[in-house]
Each structure stands twice: as C-alpha cells, then as structure tokens.
Amino acid sequence: MGPLLAVLLVSAAEAKVFYGKKEALAQVFPDADRIETITSFPTEAQLAKVRELSGAEEDEKIVTWHVGHRGDQILGYAYFETHTVRTLPETLLIVVSPAGDVRNLLLLAFYEPPEFQPSERWLGQFDAAKLGPDLRVARQIHGITGATLTSNAVTRGVRKVLALYQVLIAERK
C-alpha cells in the first residue's frame, strides 16, 4: 500500500458525519409545520458588504436558506456552512433567529482528527450571539486548547452566516 493510499484510508476512518440534512433540519426546527427553501444570488455590492461585516474572504454566489415556519410565524433561518479547518472540511448548521442572533449551532460533519473537534459545550458559546466586533476568538469566544484552527474556522463561519443574514434577509424586511 502506497503512502498516499494509507493517508486517505486514515482520513476516511477519522471522518465523522453526525447528521444528514433532513435529520439536522428536523432537529433545529422540531415545532415547524413546514420548512421552506429560499435561494438568492447576491450582487457584488452585497458580497462586498458581507465581507466587510464578517471579515470572510469567501464569496457565496448562491445562498440557500431553510426557513422554519409554524403557521405564519418564522422560527428561524438555517444555513449549511462548509469550510476548511486545517486541510479538511467541517460542516455546521447555523440557525439565525428572526431577530438576527444565533439560535442554534450544530456540527454536522468533521473530517479533521477527532482531537480537533469542537465539543457541544464549546459550540454553546454561540447561543444568542450577534454579529459584532467582539464575536471573535479571545474576545467573546474562548478558544479550544490545541485546536485554534477549529476555533477560528467555526467563528469565521458563524460571522459569515450572520453577515449573510443581515445583508440578504434583515435589510430586505
């Protein structure tokens, strides 16, 4: 067995998928009577504003939200955020409340070694978080000892999703 194949097998063995899409949406919207999918195509001006607000470098050309409804009440806006931590991806489901703060944060998949994985307790720091200058590691968010890249990646992802919400949803209400 060659060294590349051995690395790929070890990486695949360490990869963890915790929730599928339907299961994750059911978990974050247990009281919803329907979940609507809305897709938008941000303009360059909107993307520039998202970059300015979040500090994120990525450009989301297509943004898909999953909106939980109970009757005519909106329960929240869920966004599947996938990004690279160190060299491998993680996927989060970030739910933003209609007021614009983090209502829920679920780790759906993590492909880095398990010792770098954020715990549910650590992810709980983002409950009710709002986009602002202090939503950063070493300010409002405590880092994970030995997993600084994970701490920063999750925080950047949350900041990006909150900025997308602010620019694409809140400013259009």
pLDDT 10s digits, 105-147 = 999 999 999 999 999 999 999 999 999 999 999 999 999 888 8
Q: What's the pTM?
A: 0.90
Within 10 Å of residue 110's Cβ, how many Cβ atoms? 22
Nearest alpha-carbon partner for 35 in 80, 93, 75, 81: 75
Q: Coil, helix or strand for 143?
A: coil
pLDDT band for 172, please (50, 70, 90 cuts).
Answer: confident
CB-CB contact of 127 with 101 (8 Å): no
**Sorting pLDDT into bands at 50, 70 and 90, what band is 14?**
low
Q: Give me the pLDDT at residue 57, please.
A: 83
The pLDDT score that the predictor gives to residue 59 is 81
pLDDT band with cut points at 50, 70 and 90 for residue 66: very high
Inform me whether the pLDDT recorded for 88 exceeds 50: yes
The confidence band for 6, taking pLDDT boundaries of 50, 70 and 90, is very low
In angstroms, the Cα distances linking 166 to 3, 26, 31, 92, 100 are 46, 24, 24, 19, 7
Average pLDDT, the chain: 91
| pLDDT score for 118 | 95
